[in-house]
A and B are shown apart, each in its own frame.
Chain A
Amino acid sequence: MSSPVTRPLRFLRRTLGPLVEPAVFDFWSRELGSTASRSRIQARVVAKRAESARAVTLELQPNRRFEGFLPGQHVNITVEIDGRRVTRSYSLTGVPREDDRLSLTVQQVEGGLVSGHLYTDCRVGDVVELGAAFGEMTLPEILPFKLLLLAAGSGVTPLMSLVRELAQRGMPVDTTLVYWARHRADLCFVPELKALAAREPKFNLRFALTGDAVTGTDELRGRPSRELLADVAPDLSERAVYACGPAGFVAEVELLARTQARSFQSEAFTPPVFAPVESQSEVTLMLAKSNRVVRVASGQPLLAALEAQGIKPPSGCRMGICNTCACGKRDGLTRNLKNGGENAEPESNLRICISSAQSDLTLDL
């Protein structure tokens, strides 16, 4: 990499870099149209194409801060919508590449804030922020068992990444992918999957449709059932199962396959619904930084509730104006006691003196 051009640049970066504040560096980098950043993973959208009637694939070029991923993992992606930065997790659908380019496939969801933005408004050239890759549903280096991959809807995305990895590794074990969707037009990656199935005798592909009639030989009809599984994988006890889809689907296939299969790994992508608890009931607060778990009454100001447990977070005015007590909320439903508004989004600065827990919460305390 150290060509005569990059060497002086690297020297400048090393010597002058520390003198410039990260925010100032990032500002000028943005002004100059670069995604370079001192601390943050920024990525530019370099391609956008339709993947099905309701899904698009985005190709992203991250900056040097991105430290790579394993097939099957996800990233948090942050986009700005109406002035607010909103974060959601998406599975990466590709395999690691020399040029670090990433791809993810976004299905349009009714009322989905981020998916709607990525599907409709996001353009080639836009810059998004990413988090480090995470997720456990990856393939081991040595594959001792045959595989059965069960995908439903956009649950296909991490499994597609695994299929691509297997293809790259020369399909080392017999692999069957069953991919559920309501309609044929909703299926993603169809040409690529069909081509792979035609090329690789060890790769079996079945599309399972719940809303359309079956036409092709690689198609099935119906929701997951014992019969269906027996049909596609009579040798279930010799297979390791990977399942991904909405929570209901994952629970269903787990019930059908877990006991018989060699192993069972799954991921459900339906965002947890924070069911508001009854007033006067107790909720669990996970304090992520201090690694503590406390039970408090819902509905009362979090600050007071924590103090009653002997935990003393920084605080000031106790009336929601000075921001001293603000801390990050990773997940959960909170209510602003000043205006009654509820918020299920993660927040960087939750003022705990005027917020109450309406469900279990995870706080950066």
Chain B
Amino acid sequence: MNTPDRKLSPAEIESFGAELDALRARIVADLGEKDAKYIKNIVRTVRYTEVAGRGLLYAGMFPPAFVLGSVLLGFSKIVENMELGHNVMHAQYDWMNDPELNGQTYEWDTSCTSDNWRKTHNYEHHTYTNVMGKDHDIGYGVLRLYPEQKWEPRFLANPVMALILMTFFQHLLALQSLELERIVGAKSKEQRKTELARVKKDIKPIWKKMRKQLFKDYVFFPALAGPFFPIVFAGNVAANLMRNLWSSAVIYCGHFTEDAEVFPIESLENETRGHWYLRQMRGSSNFTGTKLMHIMSGNLSHQIEHHLFPDIPGRRYAEMSVEVRRICEKYGQHYNSAPMAKQFLGVWKRIFRGALPNKPTRFKAAPAANVERAEELVAA
């Protein structure tokens, strides 16, 4: 565990926020043709690798073509989901006024409907990042990662559940907005009934999108191969699996690493912009890696910068991270960054630890908005 963050006075928190605002303004003023070209090249990469991947799968009885085809298709799906879809839906490229890259209308190549995603992710997760009871991304309702989460017997299956979640990530993510665990946790018969009715209604658009994705990958394209249906089918399974494992690993590394923190709901009271920045930073973690890894992670390798500036094009996070790190050092705040393997290992430690009950734990982080109360908590 790293040295604890320095306690900041309200004035310091304000100037901390002001410095980040200034950084943001500088980058926003510089957005232009380079960024537009970049995202158009990303679109091109996605489209060409998809065609190449699907094309190669039709020659899939020839093993190298099968492997290369699956990998290219998986790569295409990864880049589409991460660097293109996720980032475009954050309105990172809305300034281009391009209807094909519009944050509110873009629909991505995965089971989760873009509309649900915009609600659970853009709004809930990004506004209430790592706030217990508000941010459903803390374990997605099925994992226990933080000692502050209440233990239940079902969490004994934590490691198995984490693996299942990774394997079927696209479909389970699609179901996230349903919060199915609320049916399990219902206290009375009536409550269970209302929960079931809610799920039954909300599942309609999800099932529609899921069906479309399943049909496209597992019926339509394999059927075009005629007798080689099983080969193309298998290639699509492999590509989707590759995408599921990679994107879930990236996302696990963003908020579930060893040094990431969660916050009590009171931290939202009177939260200023500076406090909000501080919470985003403490709840997020970066990983280092090659340029290809950054692109394939949708630049969520710079999760800290992404959470501070969710609507700034991801390609800018690398240059912003230099400044963010400097600001963190200046204010004595820990900047959570490590190689991906190390961060991922830390995540699995949390997953195993979370399976077993522990003594009640106080929130490590002070309710951001109440510095004096934080001092009391620390003293206690």
Contacts and interface: CB of A to CB of B under 8 A. Distances in A.
Interface stretch (B65-73, B121-129, B175-183, B248-256): B121-129
B310 A349 contact: no
B94 A323 contact: yes
Which of B21, B34, B122 has the most chain A CB atoms inside 10 A of its CB? B122
A83 B97 CA distance: 9
B47 A348 contact: no
Interface in A4-52: 23-24, 26-28, 31, 40
Interface in A50-89: 78, 80, 82-87
Contacts of B99: 40, 348
Contact of A348 (B32, B94, B119, B124): B94
Contacts of A260: none
B50 to A, nearest CB: 9
Contacts of B104: 323, 326, 349
Given A84-B95, A323-B118, A348-B97, A28 B34 contact: no
Contacts of B123: 316-317, 322, 324
A86 B96 CA distance: 9
Interface string B25-36: 100100111111
Contacts of A28: 47
B100 interface: yes
A83 B94 contact: no
B152 interface: no
Contacts, number: 89
B98 A85 contact: yes
Interface string A329-350: 0000000001100000001110
Which of A23, A319, A347 has the most chain B CB atoms inside 10 A of its CB? A23
A24 B31 CA distance: 26
A255 interface: no
Nearest to B47: A27
B90 interface: yes
A321 interface: yes
Interface residues of A, number: 29
A28 B44 CA distance: 9
B96 A349 contact: no
Nearest to B33: A83
A188 B101 CA distance: 39
A141 B141 CA distance: 69
B288 interface: no
A321 B96 contact: no
Interface string B100-131: 10111000000000000011001110110000
B91 interface: yes
A80 B36 contact: yes
A321 B118 CA distance: 11
Contact of A86 (B32, B97, B100, B124): B97
Interface in A79-107: 80, 82-87
A335 B136 CA distance: 33
B311 interface: yes
Contacts of B32: 82-84
B97 to A, nearest CB: 4
Contacts of B276: 319
The 4 closest A-B pairs by CB, nearest first: A83-B36, A316-B123, A317-B127, A322-B123
Interface of A: 23-24, 26-28, 31, 40, 78, 80, 82-87, 316-317, 319-324, 326, 338-339, 347-349
10 contacts: A40-B99, A78-B97, A317-B126, A319-B276, A321-B126, A326-B103, A339-B25, A349-B102, A349-B103, A349-B104
